[in-house]
């Protein structure tokens, strides 16, 4: 799995989790949901995404790196 796809999954899980927590635990969890949305928005403009940096440190590869890996194995 690439870092880009993992970020979609991570963002979706976090939004669902914080929405459920806001519904069943405390409405203050909506602030965290808004933070996640803001982080997604700023990441689309700046390319800066802290969770992606962490995933790269753990060895996950980007779509471009995976494509290069596949193309170098073909030749």
Q: Does 68 have pLDDT greater than 80?
A: yes
Q: What CA–CA distance (Å, rounded) separates 25 from 42?
A: 28
Q: Among 42, 45, 59, which residue's Cα sits nearest to residue 3?
A: 59
> Domain residues of the chain, as ranges?
3-74
Q: Does 75 have pLDDT greater than 80?
A: no
List, for residues 7-46, the tens digit of each pLDDT value: 999 999 999 999 999 999 999 999 999 999 999 999 999 9
| Confidence band, pLDDT 50/70/90 cuts, at residue 74 | confident
Tell me the whole-structure pTM to 2 decimals.
0.80
């Amino acid at each position: 799995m690439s870092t880009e796809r993992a970020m979609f999954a991570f963002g979706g899980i976090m939004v669902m989790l914080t929405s459920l927590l806001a519904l069943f635990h405390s409405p203050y969890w909506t602030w965290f949901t808004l933070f996640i949305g803001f982080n997604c928005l700023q990441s689309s403009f700046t390319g800066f995404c802290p969770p992606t940096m962490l995933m790269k440190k753990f060895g996950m590869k980007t779509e471009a790196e995976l494509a290069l890996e596949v193309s170098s194995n073909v030749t």
